[in-house]
Amino acid sequence: MLQMDTMQHIEVIGIGAGNPDHLTLQAVEALRRSDVVVALDKGDTKADLLNARREIVDKHAPGTPIVAVTDPERDRNPADYKAEVERWHQERAQLLLDALPAEGTAAFLVWGDPSLYDSTLRIIERMRGLGLNATVTVTPGITAVQALTAAHGILINRIGEDIRITTGRALVDGPMTNAVVMLDGGAAWMHAPDAEIWWGAYLGTDKQVLRHGLVSEIGIDLAQEKAALREKHGWIMDIYLLRK
């Protein structure tokens, strides 16, 4: 259990988006100076993601213990949605706080980069509210955005154009010249029938799949392929660039 007067250190390390070789040299150094890795285990469907973290530790800092913290249960249909999310975040922060060693350095391995659609830095702020007294260092990582563009060998923008990074849910409402879409549970590209799409799933892993074409031509087929891949592997992570 945490001692209020003990100084701890947390390394928040961006580990890249799927390939263990995405780690920067800086990330490897940060991992090697950590005494323990604390990983949030999000259950069976994300088992591959926990395994990816194990692979990274085995490869770059063998012998470093991994403490897997099971993500607390969440009510998906609560009467008060905001209150339930607040309760869930608080419980998650407390579990992670309890898992930290009383002293020394703990590493949180963050998928991609900690700045992009990730809650680790927010959770650490919550942990401070619960009594954490730690210094924190953040090491950047290769994002899924970069994994996508490199896999297709493309730029996100044509010369001088702006770029939007958004979620499947928010895509519908906003402007779009070049939109990189993440966290799409479905096939939000169907809302942009006149766009070109560069799509990638399981980027950087041995399951990687890439597709490119006009939404009007491949959109429906891609939606079916995504559903089939999710069925086959039990989970999917995909990202895409839409350009008008």
Binding footprint of ligand SAM on the chain (CB under 6 A): 17-18, 111-113, 116-118, 143-144, 147, 182-183, 200-204, 237-239
Q: Which is nearer to ligand SAM, 18 or 219 (CB)?
A: 18
Direct distance between the N- and C-terminal alpha carbons of the chain, in angstroms, rounded to an integer: 54
Query: Residue 215, Cβ neighbours under 10 Å: how many?
Result: 22
Instruction: Report the nearest approach of ligand SAM to the CB of residue 61 (Å).
Output: 21
Instruction: Report the nearest approach of ligand SAM to the CB of residue 111 (Å).
Output: 5
Considering Cα of 121, then 124, then 128, then 132, what sign does the dihedral take?
A: negative
Q: Which is nearer to ligand SAM, 19 or 34 (CB)?
A: 19
Q: Which is nearer to ligand SAM, 8 or 138 (CB)?
A: 138
Q: Which is nearer to ligand SAM, 112 or 219 (CB)?
A: 112
Q: Which is nearer to ligand SAM, 204 or 219 (CB)?
A: 204
Q: Which is nearer to ligand SAM, 8 or 56 (CB)?
A: 56
Instruction: Report the nearest approach of ligand SAM to the CB of residue 238 (Å).
Output: 5
Residue number of the CB atom closest to ligand SAM: 112
Tokens of 77: 């249909």
Instruction: Report the nearest approach of ligand SAM to the CB of residue 104 (Å).
Output: 26
Tokens of 142: 């290769």
Q: Which is nearer to ligand SAM, 2 or 164 (CB)?
A: 164
Instruction: Report the nearest approach of ligand SAM to the CB of residue 160 (Å).
Output: 25
Instruction: Report the nearest approach of ligand SAM to the CB of residue 18 (Å).
Output: 3
Beta-bridge partner residues of 138: 12
Q: Which residues of 75-107 are buried (b: 16+ CB within 10 A; e: fewer)?
A: eeeeeeeeeeeeebbeebbeebbebbeeeebbb
Tokens of 19: 């390939």
Beta-bridge partner residues of 110: 14
CB 142 within 8 A of CB 158: no
Residue with tokens 């830095």: 121
Instruction: Report the nearest approach of ligand SAM to the CB of residue 171 (Å).
Output: 12
CB 12 within 8 A of CB 108: yes
Rg of the chain in Å (alpha carbons): 19
